[in-house]
Structure 1
Amino acid sequence: MDLIKFAVLMTLWLEFTDSSSILLAPLDIGYNSRVRNVLRIGRMLLQAGHEVTVIVSDRIENESLFKHAEGFNLDLTFRVLKYKTPTFDLDTAYSTANQEWLNSMVYQPYTTLLQIVGQAYEENLKFALGDKEMWNEIASSKFDLIFADDSVFFPRLVSAYFDIPMIVYSNWGPMSTDTNFVPRYNLAYVPAFFPTYSDEMTFLERFMNVLEYSLIKWTWYNMYNRFISICREHGYGDACDNIRDAYKTISLFMINRNDAIHYPAPYMPHIISVEGFFLKSETEPLETEYSNIIKNAGEQGIIVASLGSMHRRLSYKTREKFATAFAAMPQTVIWSYEGPLPKGLGNNTIVKKWIPQESLLAHSSTKLFVTHCGASALFQALHYATPTVGLPFFWDQPYNCHKLTHKVKSGKTVLPIEMMSEELKNAMQEVISDKRYKDNANKAADIYHSQPIDPKKKLMYWIEYVIRHKGAHHLRSHAENELKLFQYYLLDIIALVMCSLVVFGGIIAIIITYLIKCILFDHKMKKD
């Protein structure tokens, strides 16, 4: 009898609960921080009572970094749809697990980066489109919402084909891989992508910014043509156009940005800042091993060194430079690194494959954060008011390091490819010894923490807002997407004004000429 009552109660609860079915699509080109952050959103949705289905390749769970970071199989937490992929060859794979592939991107211009990573985007799209069993699963699932990384293209097709509202998320903040998602309203003060420009550009910087924007648009034009062609070959018709046009149809675009770190820019209401939602509300206590390390470090404190998920295996020369610079510091260095141990590693340097990074940054003994300036590291440095030495390699990292160095002024930037051990050591010593860096980090942290709503609550509010209203197209400016270039920049109005001035000026000139002739003729008649 009790069992029957329980079943009835559960049926009533399911009937009246606000639970929704959500398809979650992280960027699956290897495990990295942006995958981790999308999965964090998935867990938040689960805690809020929603049903979450994650769509990934059948190989991501086999990566060592996934096992280090997640520690479990996805299907123990989520419902998982896996599209089939060929046998994984680490030497040739377009994956962040392939260090050679990552190294080919270091210090490349953005258009070159797009062409390199575009191979991975195209490959994943083919794999997903080719798995008809997964497509049938999606068709029968009746999702209420799609939440996708901005660089995943298969969900754009699913959204258009099944008419499902979609939210797109950018881990990089105000910069999407495609410039159309966050419109560049004025290239005079808004960077096209990730050049290290501020919102005050010289003439040359503005010229290069417009040139960069034009090259990016052209590169994406060619990439989208390939993606749409592949999609149409699989028979999905006009829905394939949404792979290019999703910026016109998405309900919301969520971006990791905050006024403390990013330059002001105008955004439409459907563009929502989620302010580093992935930061832990409360840091976990340190394990005894790390507590002892900090205790033994004494008053000198510790340096936390982490180059993110994609720079964990450095070249011989680079890792030697790091080891030599760390060995010269009086602080204890905790270095997150999994490659071969370099020569010259000091007794003060502790190397670990995985470290409790946030808990260490939150500790008062941490004097410095040596970081690649990835999106997660950027917000961790901001949140915990930690001075930094930035070592950017590619993508958004130079941009993020530039913001910490030049806007927040809480650190210094050193380019790893040009770096000597002495330069890195001097930068670390300066940031630790000069009180201004810590003071600036504290000021930025105060601004960051002065938010009217907790970032996690803000993110959940807007996701459920879209579900509740079955989309949020009323927040979009459709006119913005439909206006022609000459209309958007008011060139037709300027042309009208110019023509009117010319006509008016011509009429005035004719009148004045006529009057002058009349006066001269009258004067001549009087003389005669």
Structure 2
Amino acid sequence: KMWCFSNICYFSLEIQLQTQSGNILVFPMEGSHWINMDILLQALHSRGHNVTIVRSSQSWYIKDNSTYYSTYTVPIEIGFEREFISRTISEIIDFQRGALPLTSFFHLAVGMLGTLTEAHRGLGEFASGMLDDKKFMRMLNDTKFDLVLTDPCWGGGIILAKYLNLPLVYNVRWLIPEEAHLSIAPSPISYIPNMRSGLTNQMTFFQRVKNMIYYVVSQTQKHLVAKKVYQKICDKYLGPNNDFNQLLIDADIWLMRADFVFDYPRPTMPNVVYMGGFQCKPAKPLPQHLEEFVQSSGEHRVIIMSLGTFVSELPADMANEIAAAFAKLPQKVIWRYKGSRPDTLGNNTLLVDWMPQNDLLGHPKVKVFVAHGGTNGVQEALYHGVPVVGLPVAFDQYDNLIRLEDRGAAKMLTLSTVDKDNNFLTAIQEVLNEPSYRMNMQRLSRLHRDQPITPMDNALFWIEFVMRHKGAAHLKPASLRMSWYSYHSVDVALFLGGAVLLMLLFTFFLIRCLCNAMCKPKVKCE
């Protein structure tokens, strides 16, 4: 009986594993977005799913060979090279260092539009080349995938899912030029700050005016990029009745790389699943040379600094100012930096090409994290309870850091002030010596960790849910299929306004007729 029971259990488990395993097609984004997507793919593979990635032959990060995914390599360049991003970042740094607030706004509103369109036009060329390859597309169709997983910051995965008629899941925080909630959920801009506005959810009247202006700019950029790049691809390969902006918001599940410990509370939707910090995990032991350096810091402990994937070096004068500030501190410093060695570098500072950021943040000796404010980095700092000195460069970094600063867990500088009047040294010392920064960050860390299910398990459940049920149409709100004037009840307001106006006019003419009728006999009698 025991033998039969064990065999039945084994057979049942085998069937369960077979039915649960799925075939997932991934259209990823490069850079830091790939880093967190890669972690999600490893978890999917560990649960028995087959993961296949569509990549360019000129991919920067996505390797052709891996133990946990296979690839379809399209022999087409991705449309713009890594150097394009690095050059753009350098131009932003140079501009921001000398920019006034008004010129900075016009640079964001007008100057960056051309760069944004150029970048997406290159990505559009890659998508078109992929869809033109009939042999490649036939191979994708024949593989019988269960869903498409993509980062909608690039539009190619959205169009590919529609072309293959597959359910669509997003690993998302930002769409083309805006925060993802703005496209799918009610988003009153009276208290929801727009991307790059530098505002919190507590706004004065003039801050709300500023937020409105930034909202209009972002919406204009969104529609121009969609029209100039992706709508043309939709018209060519999907037919003229497929609006790209409609396809963009029609995903089955939105796996949002945020939570309401980090982000501000706001309206949401049933198919938005929060997995903020899903890439975070307990620290592993450090490599020996780093562990020895960290332990040599004694009671003063360690500061780590990294400005992300694309900022590997800084202007020489700025790098020298930062290195000089570090040299004045009793702490040891580990600085991820690939530029020329600063002349003012102190003996307490170790320059590295790469560092195990999550493992360092989880080390008890690390006291402060100097960061550019990318989503991965700030969420890892929050997970491990390490306060931040922020130096935002571009994209969403300013918005991420201001959320931590608003909660008393970070001190933020700007590129225009970091190397002036000892601002960098003063900010570091403030975060080191003021206990409230660490206390506030550790409080956020406790809140973030206190969940009934881990963010990663939550994300995996909903991906598998879409595979089991061939989508999640029952979670999509009706608003996705409504025109803007119907959604905002403009047509209803006009109808009711017209009806009231007709009633008033009818009442006015009725009273006027009655008055005329009553006045006529009186005139005759006289």
Instruction: Flag the 1:195–1:298 CA change in 2: closer, same or farther, 3 A.
Output: same
Write the distance in 1 (CA, Å) between the matches of 2:514 and 2:234.
70
- What is aligned with 2:484? 485
Instruction: Flag the 1:501–1:266 CA change in 2: closer, same or farther, 3 A.
Output: same
SS of match in other structure, 1:351: strand
| 1:350 maps onto 2:337 in alignment | no
CA offset digits 1:348-371 (Å, max 9, x no partner): 110101111111111222111111
After superposition, where does 1:215-254 map in structure 2 within 5 Å? 215-228=217-230, 230-231=232-233, 235-238=236-239, 241=242, 243-254=244-255
Shift of residue 152, structure 1, vs aligned partner:
2.5
- The code of the aligned residue for 1:316 comes to A
- What is aligned with 2:33? 34
Write the distance in 2 (CA, Å) between the matches of 1:265 and 1:15.
38
CA offset digits 1:117-137 (Å, max 9, x no partner): 332222133124224143333
8 Å contact from structure 2 (residues 152, 174) kept in 1: no
Instruction: Flag the 1:279–1:440 CA change in 2: closer, same or farther, 3 A.
Output: same
Shift of residue 15, structure 1, vs aligned partner:
9.2
8 Å contact from structure 2 (residues 26, 149) kept in 1: yes
Write the distance in 1 (CA, Å) between the matches of 2:150 and 2:514.
72
SS of match in other structure, 1:102: helix
The percent identity for this pair of structures is: 24
- What is aligned with 2:26? 24
- The code of the aligned residue for 1:219 comes to Q
- The code of the aligned residue for 1:85 comes to I
Q: C-alpha root-mean-square deviation of aligned residues, in Å?
A: 3.3
Write the distance in 2 (CA, Å) between the matches of 1:390 and 1:365.
20
CA offset digits 1:201-236 (Å, max 9, x no partner): 222222332332223222222222232465268x52
| 1:307 maps onto 2:313 in alignment | no
- What is aligned with 1:286? 286
- What is aligned with 1:148? 150
- What is aligned with 1:82? 73
Write the distance in 1 (CA, Å) between the matches of 2:150 and 2:285.
33
| Equivalent residue pairs, number | 498
Shift of residue 46, structure 1, vs aligned partner:
0.5
- What is aligned with 1:6? none
- What is aligned with 1:444? 444
Write the distance in 1 (CA, Å) between the matches of 2:67 and 2:451.
35
- What is aligned with 1:95? 82
Write the distance in 1 (CA, Å) between the matches of 2:211 and 2:84.
32
Instruction: Flag the 1:462–1:410 CA change in 2: closer, same or farther, 3 A.
Output: same
- What is aligned with 1:109? 108
Instruction: Flag the 1:114–1:142 CA change in 2: closer, same or farther, 3 A.
Output: farther
Instruction: Flag the 1:110–1:448 CA change in 2: closer, same or farther, 3 A.
Output: farther
Instruction: Flag the 1:130–1:183 CA change in 2: closer, same or farther, 3 A.
Output: same
| 1:369 maps onto 2:369 in alignment | yes
CA offset digits 1:284-342 (Å, max 9, x no partner): 11222122112211111100111111111222222122111111211111101111111
Write the distance in 2 (CA, Å) between the matches of 1:342 and 1:182.
46
- What is aligned with 1:381? 381
CA offset digits 1:216-275 (Å, max 9, x no partner): 222222222232465268x52428936432234211111111111211111111111112
Write the distance in 2 (CA, Å) between the matches of 1:226 and 1:97.
20
Q: Please, what TM-score do these two structures have when normalized by structure 1?
A: 0.85
Shift of residue 474, structure 1, vs aligned partner:
1.1
Shift of residue 488, structure 1, vs aligned partner:
2.5
8 Å contact from structure 2 (residues 170, 255) kept in 1: yes
Write the distance in 2 (CA, Å) between the matches of 1:317 and 1:100.
19
- What is aligned with 1:5? none
- What is aligned with 1:417? 416
Shift of residue 522, structure 1, vs aligned partner:
13
**Greater displacement, 496-505 / 260-269:** 496-505
Instruction: Flag the 1:262–1:368 CA change in 2: closer, same or farther, 3 A.
Output: same
8 Å contact from structure 2 (residues 198, 399) kept in 1: yes
Unaligned runs of 5+ in 1: 1-8
- What is aligned with 2:170? 168
8 Å contact from structure 1 (residues 336, 353) kept in 2: yes
